[in-house]
Amino acid sequence: MNKDVKKYINFDINYFQDEDGVFTATTPQINWCIASWKTLEEAYENMIDGIDSCIEARFIILDALNKKSKYQNINTYKRNTYA
Look at the pTM and tell me if it is higher than 0.75: no
Any idea where the domains of the chain sit in the sequence? Answer: 1-7+40-83
For residues 72 and 22, what is the distance between their CA atoms, to the nearest angstrom?
A: 33
User: How does pLDDT run along the chain (83 residues), one tens digit per residue?
Assistant: 455 555 667 888 999 999 999 999 999 988 888 999 999 999 999 999 999 888 888 878 777 777 666 666 666 555 655 55
3-state secondary structure 22-82: CEEEECCCCCCCEEEECCHHHHHHHHHHHHHHHHHHHHHHHHHCCCCCCCCCEECCCCCCC
> Contact 27/10 with Cβ under 8 angstroms?
no
Indicate the helix (H) or strand (E) that contains 17.
strand 14-17
Task: Supply the pLDDT for residue 32.
Answer: 86
